Amino acid sequence: MMEKVVSGIRPTGFLHLGNYFGAVKTFVEMQHKYDCMFFIADWHSLTTSPNPDDIRQSARIILAEYLACGIDPSLASIYIQSDVKETLELYLYLNMNMYLGELERVTTFKEKARKQPNNVNAGLLTYPTLMAADILQHRAQKVPVGKDQEQNMEMARKCARRFNHIYNTDFFPEPQNYYFSHEAVKVPGLDGSGKMGKSEGNCIYLHDDDKTISKKVMRAVTDNGPQTPNSPRPEVIENLFTFLRICSSDETYRYFDEKWNDCTLRYGDLKKQIAEDIIKTVTPIREQIARYMADTPLLDRLAREGAEKARESAAATLHEVRRIIGFDR
């Protein structure tokens, strides 16, 4: 039996290169090795914004972007969280075993509570329970997540262990984190900062057009150039080389590496090359995004088929859970 993998994607805006070379590439690789379920966590987004603009449309956009990046519905199930109502019943059962004190201690809860003091709602508090239900309903063994999800994952394992303990069963496996940060490349920002991120405002988006990409790359922070042969590169310059490493050929990388080492490198040339190669990487994805976005019936059909597979898996788990608790009589 193939190991089960589940991961949720919060709809927080458009995908950028950092997402692509981080989480998304990991998902795409995993779908060949594991039985994967990827879903768009639209319910979770209600914990912070009770009035999302158009929640269905933003889910569609993410769906289109993930499909464009290579998530293949014939290999992995991709679905929208709110299409699988089975999750809610499990969420309720699991909540009976979660305690106020431990939920209040979760760092992400404390942070959100500080950021939205007028909306410290129960959904926010029980965010980890919903996430545990997302995972446990498929009895997943592996969950690809970033470091920021460590505590939520600890809570998911706690849910599994507690349920097993209370009902004297070994029904739920304890889901393990599958970190993508080690295998995936950390894409730097173009502003000299360490990381490309939406909140940092230093992103190249997969839907950016050529001109926008060029402009962003040409504005990237540099220094006054290599001074002594074969010297180590300062971080801002190494960041630029990271783009060469992920988007360009080995030959191109070597060419600019030599130029750096013999102090003949001109940043203008380097940036032009980087822009060109990023554009080459992004163009086919951008075209696919547009193709999917132009075909709402296709997106809706794929979402429906994904949801059917997810519901089947969740229903089987729920059936057992009801029996274990005693609701089958």
Stretch that binds ligand TRP, among 6-14, 157-165, 185-193, 265-273 (CB under 6 A): 6-14
Distances in whole angstroms, Cα of residue 195 to Cα of each of 188, 191, 240 = 4, 9, 12
* Contacts of residue 30, Cβ cutoff 8 Å, sequence gap at least 6: 5, 36, 76, 144, 178
149 lines the binding site for ligand TRP (CB under 6 A): yes
**Measured from the CB of residue 233, what is the shortest distance to ligand TRP in angstroms?**
32
**Measured from the CB of residue 279, what is the shortest distance to ligand TRP in angstroms?**
29
Alpha helices in the chain, H assignment, sequence order: 17-19, 25-33, 42-45, 55-69, 86-95, 100-104, 107-115, 122-125, 127-136, 150-166, 210-218, 235-247, 250-261, 267-293, 296-325
152 lines the binding site for ligand TRP (CB under 6 A): yes
Residues 76-135 close enough to bind ligand TRP by CB under 6 A: 131, 134-135
Question: Is the separation of the CB atoms in 289 and 68 below 8 Å?
Answer: yes
Alpha carbon 59 to its chain centroid, in Å, reads 14
As a whole number of angstroms, the distance between CA 69 and CA 141 comes to: 24
Residues 212-241 close enough to bind ligand TRP by CB under 6 A: none
Listing DSSP states for 39-54 in one string gives: EE-HHHHTTT-SS-S-
**Measured from the CB of residue 54, what is the shortest distance to ligand TRP in angstroms?**
20
Interface with ligand TRP (CB under 6 A), residue from 15, 143, 274, 275 = 143
Question: Which residues are part of the catalytic machinery?
Answer: 112, 195, 198
**Measured from the CB of residue 269, what is the shortest distance to ligand TRP in angstroms?**
38
**What mask, x for binding ligand TRP by CB under 6 A, covers residues 8 to 47?**
x-x------------------------------x--x---
184 lines the binding site for ligand TRP (CB under 6 A): no
- Residue numbers of the site for ligand TRP (CB under 6 A)? 6-8, 10, 41, 44, 131, 134-135, 143, 145, 149, 152
